[in-house]
Amino acid sequence: MSSRDNDKVFTGLIPRLYEKHLVSVIFEPYAAQLAGRLASRLLTRVLEIAAGTGVATRSLASVLPDNVSIVATDLNQPMLDQAAAIGTKHPVERRQADAMQLPFEDGMFDAVVCQFGVMFFPEKSKAFSEARRVPRSGGVFIFSVCDRIEENEFADTVTTALESLLPKEPPRFLARTPDGYYDRSTIEGDLANGGFTASPQTSTVAARSRATSSLIPAVAYCQGRPLRNEIEARDASRPGEATNAAAEAIAQRFGQGAIDGKIQAHIVTIEN
């Protein structure tokens, strides 16, 4: 399996570690941002794609009225299982689904949302075509993507640390995939190729990534994401060593004890 194929595999220990560490380090502030953009809209049915372990799903369920139906999908059933184990404020339908071939009829939803999932789609325009097909006319598609890796300080530090640890074939998952789809003109072109005719509205939102120790983001990035798969492909015995190297690099840059780093993302809204 190629590195890019591995990039979308969230199985084994990844779902649990993703939820335990990565959600608080990166995803919670942006989940609230995404849900807030839907709160004022009149909605009946909302689809979330690439829902992961459900941090955005939980925000949606806490903000939207109880009569709004939420369907959360993800390619990886283990991620949905982790989300179901946590639950939501009101019932959510969870379904395994490929974002590039959604199992829904045309115009079924008022809104489609995706938090930090678009970067993982192998064919962006194809996924965008599906995100345009399933909402009704007048509906909306809202999604977030990470900005360039230099604007996401913990991810940048981890990537540099692993380049030193594994110099012959450094793992580039973070720069390649989650922090690799940030160029606005590329995103706009892919949306147009997916059939959207409206102009997207893009906001660049900076936030703070906080943890009580450098080990937490090190575990989050090295073991709670498919970066773990890439490290194990180099040497199955080295995820622990890689995590420790990342933790040491983060501590050197941000200090011992509680740490605080910049994160930044684009939030894109486009009307259907």
Contact 202, 268 (CB under 8 A): yes
What is the mean pLDDT of the segment spanning 56-64? 96
Task: Identify residue 56 by its one-letter amino acid code.
Answer: A
The pLDDT, as a whole number, for residue 1 is 43
Element (H, E) at 247: helix 239-254
Residues 6+ apart with CB under 8 A from 105: 134
Share of the chain above pLDDT 70, in %: 95
Helix, strand, coil in percent for the chain, rounding step 5: 45, 20, 35
- Stretch among 10-24, 49-63, 64-78, 112-126 having the lowest mean pLDDT: 10-24
Tokens of 52: 């992961």
Binning pLDDT at 50, 70 and 90, where does residue 7 land?
A: low
- Stretch among 44-53, 122-131, 226-235 having the lowest mean pLDDT: 226-235
The answer to whether the predicted template modeling score (pTM) of the entire model surpasses 0.85 is yes
What is the mean pLDDT of the segment spanning 48-76? 95
Domains of the chain by start residue, with CATH = 3-271 (3.40.50.150)
What is the mean pLDDT of the segment spanning 95-99? 97
